[in-house]
Amino acid sequence: MSIHLCVSFPGHERVLGGRRHSFLEKTSASLNQWRISCGSFPSSITNFRRPYTSVMVVPTGVGASIGGFAGDALPVARTIASVVDCLISHPNVLNAAMLYWPLPNVLYVEGHALDRFAQGSWALQPVHRNKVGLVLDAGIEEELRIRHLQVADATRASLGLPVVEYIVTDTPLQVEKWVDPRSGQSTGRIQHPDSLLRAVHTLVNHSQVNAIAVLGRFPDDDVEEMEDYRQGKGIDLLAGVEAVISHLIVKEFQIPCAHAPALSPLPLTLSLCPRSAAEEIGYTFLPCVLAGLSNAPQYVAKDSGTSNQGCILASDVDSVVIPIDACGGEGILAFARGLRHKPLIIAVEENQTVLDDTPDKLGIKAVKASNYWEAVGIIAAHKAGVDPNSLRRNGINNIRSFSASHCNGYIASNSV
């Protein structure tokens, strides 16, 4: 690639020969030498600042306007990741059934682990790769099981993913799902959790895997029950119990885990919302799960005796992005009420859920963004060390006076 330096001389703008041409050559050479000696400008700045870390949360199964469907919050995550140095998010944001997007500066963290991280109990240890084990529900029919094993082999051969071994549970898990009538969010249970834990224990202890993908046989939905979701309305009926399954494993084994449901394909519809379409392009949700788990960070408990060197801590988080009415989760409350370090909480008004946990109701100090466009701008300003309010007309008021107060037995007063 050639670089052209153009210099205008008063009255001689078109003259490039003789001494003036020689001057251009010398100037160009000087610029190149300056670049060589100083390095790239962005890298020089980075050397003097610690990495900027952001957390993006969209709770599972709460009907979020953005992030409540088939990976429809992934574009937001991609955009934020281009602005920050490190983005921490969870499967509900990053999974899109057969679709996924490799993001080298994004950490794929299960929801329970994200809560423990926010509370300071666990640290996140980035890795180059994990050994992923696959647990298959014994309730999956043979043909559907074979198809999903072929999916796992495809990710190994075509993506090079380290999926090393699978096991079938000794008893069908019998997944049940429903909508909580009080909160309006989806939830559920598995009838035989012990069978699932035994299968995971075998893979962890005999195959030395350090990440787990679970494939549970979900009851097939009545097409009419799925119609709202397929039209981009309502809530994800599968998501709530998926979280129950992954929370169970992460709490017990403290390793990365994500779940993919095994379902019979839905009949073709001519009217389908793009936000739900990722779940309609195939019979499997497994590829995004395996891709995410392949390099998900490991969880290091604070009292484990293991060094936290090289780990990311809750105190490293600079900002947290959350839907406006979903601020009541354990992790968000921990971030907002931390005694020593409080990241900037950004509540996105356009992203509404069935919940009603707003910052105002919970006493959380938050910056409200009308949409994710604004949220990205707020993050960019915050990373640059700029008060986001200074980007708004009349966003900055006159500086406040420090009122008189008692300091060590004396009256101190500062005013400007």
Q: Which residues touch 76 (CB under 8 Å, ≥6 apart)? A: 56, 66, 67, 93, 372
* Per-residue pLDDT, 48: 72
d(CA 134, CA 249): 13
- Per the model's pLDDT, the better-predicted residue between 278 and 327 turns out to be 327
Residue 402 burial (CB count, 10 A)? 11
Encoding tokens for residue 48? Answer: 């003097």
d(CA 407, CA 413): 10
* Per-residue pLDDT, 27: 42
The string of DSSP letters for 331-355 reads HHHHHHT-SS--PEEEEETT---S-
Closest CA to 354 of 331, 325, 332: 325
Q: What is the pTM of this model?
A: 0.84
Q: Which residue has the tokens 């009308």?
A: 370
pLDDT one-digit tens code per residue, 38-63: 444 454 445 678 899 999 999 999 99
Q: Which residue has the tokens 């490991």?
A: 298
The string of DSSP letters for 251-309 reads HHH-S-EEEEEE-PPPPP-S---GGGGGGGSSS--HHHHHHHHHTPPEEEETTSS---T
> What fold is seen in the domain 52-126+305-391?
Rossmann fold (3.40.50)
The domain spans of the chain are 1-48, 52-126+305-391, 127-296
pLDDT one-digit tens code per residue, 190-233: 999 999 999 999 999 999 999 999 999 998 866 666 777 888 88
- Average predicted confidence (pLDDT) for the chain: 86
Matching CATH topology for 52-126+305-391 and 127-296? yes
Which CATH architecture group holds 127-296?
Answer: 3-Layer(aba) Sandwich (3.40)
* Per-residue pLDDT, 279: 85
d(CA 193, CA 332): 28
* Per-residue pLDDT, 12: 42
